[in-house]
A = this chain, B = another copy of it.
């Protein structure tokens, strides 16, 4: 019998409890041992819960319980989650989390402690909800040098963009609709401005490179400025617009970003709709793989958490393949040095100047203005050329 504890009985934490109760027999078969929830830490009152005796408000009840070998941290936030996770790992317990902010911010420190104590710190649920992506990167593609990871990593923004494309909704209406359905928070900043996706691509690229990639080094732009006219242009050039977190490894250096991108209709990411998430991984041997599924929600996310718990029940010893070390700022390619293409919108009056600066591009007419696909060059060079041409209305990067 393996005893576990849960910290934070919110959406994901209660999902973990539900799966362990509901799939008990299957879990025992798959773990080789029965898994039981011994304690649940939450500051809220659960005296009405049918297993109210499991709940405690005192962290020490978990920390000092020698029977509890694995703790699930699904409380979110940084302050308490950091202190609790550190103390638990130091006391020789393994920790499983869905807390992407914590993994992205303090992962490297936790891996160090986990190594010292020969326990595990796992975080499959922190990226892509129920979609397996951490373990495939750590294990399945290990024969490859991973050269690119790109993903639709946030369901809220994907739902909004899908509504804008399919129903010609404005951003504001689509957001309101997402809020009504519970897909978006009252304060949608973390989703809409790309911070959530930023933490997730930070985790994925840290895992791929073995070095912490910090959010401050990831150029992050959300979808607030994607307009109905952008949607029209995108359709005209056979693309959809998706909020993409992506990272490239080139000659040992790394670039990472979060921004709306134009995806050709032929690419599998373009048909990922509504709240679904998907991650593509490109290895130098296997070419492009895609992992698709529900990127959020109680049971899908809890499914990933419990998958990690089972992994630890099967093998509780430290495993270096899920870890990374400290950041190495010298290995970061700044956003302005990325070589890429953009779809650039310009005023009618700029047409001639643009045509002389970019002689080979085709300028197409939109509803109220003009647009063109810029040639492959660094962001910096493009910016200089556009400044010389009198600026631009907006620009969206092309997915490659």
8 Å CB contacts to B: which residues of A306-361?
A: 306-307, 309-311, 314-315, 319-321
- A189 CB–B CB distance under 8 Å: no
For the complex, give the distance between the alpha carbons of A291 and B290 in Å.
Answer: 6
Pairwise interchain contact A291-B291, C-beta atoms closer than 8 A: yes
- A66 CB–B CB distance under 8 Å: no
Pairwise interchain contact B289-A290, C-beta atoms closer than 8 A: no
Q: Beyond A135-B136, A140-B135, A268-B271, is A26–B287 a contact (Cβ under 8 Å)?
A: no
8 Å CB contacts to B: which residues of A259-290?
A: 268, 271-272, 283-290
Pairwise interchain contact A130-B23, C-beta atoms closer than 8 A: no
Q: Which of B124, B286, B302 contacts A299 (CB 8 A)?
A: B286
For the complex, give the distance between the alpha carbons of A283 and B30 in Å.
Answer: 14
- A1 CB–B CB distance under 8 Å: no
- A144 CB–B CB distance under 8 Å: yes
- A153 CB–B CB distance under 8 Å: no
- A142 CB–B CB distance under 8 Å: yes
Count of chain A residues near B, Cβ 8 A: 55
Determine the residue in chain B with the shortest Cβ distance to A309.
B143
For the complex, give the distance between the alpha carbons of A263 and B23 in Å.
Answer: 30
Pairwise interchain contact A143-B306, C-beta atoms closer than 8 A: yes
Interface residues of A (CB under 8 A from B): 15, 19, 23, 26-27, 29-32, 124, 130-132, 135-136, 139-145, 210, 268, 271-272, 283-294, 297, 299-300, 302-307, 309-311, 314-315, 319-321
For the complex, give the distance between the alpha carbons of A36 and B63 in Å.
Answer: 45
Q: Beyond A268-B271, A310-B143, is A293–B303 a contact (Cβ under 8 Å)?
A: no
Pairwise interchain contact A27-B320, C-beta atoms closer than 8 A: no
Minimum Cβ distance to chain B for residue A34 (Å): 14
Q: Beyond A268-B271, A271-B268, A314-B321, is A141–B289 a contact (Cβ under 8 Å)?
A: no
For the complex, give the distance between the alpha carbons of A375 and B112 in Å.
Answer: 59
For the complex, give the distance between the alpha carbons of A132 and B133 in Å.
Answer: 10
Pairwise interchain contact A285-B300, C-beta atoms closer than 8 A: yes
For the complex, give the distance between the alpha carbons of A290 and B303 in Å.
Answer: 15
Residues of B within 8 A of A314 (CB): 319, 321
Residues of B within 8 A of A285 (CB): 15, 19, 23, 130, 299-300, 302-303, 306
Determine the residue in chain B with the shortest Cβ distance to A132.
B140
Residues of B within 8 A of A292 (CB): 268, 289-292
Pairwise interchain contact A286-B271, C-beta atoms closer than 8 A: no
Determine the residue in chain B with the shortest Cβ distance to A35.
B143
Residues of B within 8 A of A144 (CB): 23, 26, 303
For the complex, give the distance between the alpha carbons of A258 and B307 in Å.
Answer: 30
Q: Beyond A136-B136, A303-B141, is A289–B291 a contact (Cβ under 8 Å)?
A: yes
For the complex, give the distance between the alpha carbons of A130 and B282 in Å.
Answer: 11
Pairwise interchain contact B23-A307, C-beta atoms closer than 8 A: no
Q: Beyond A268-B292, A292-B292, A314-B321, is A143–B284 a contact (Cβ under 8 Å)?
A: no
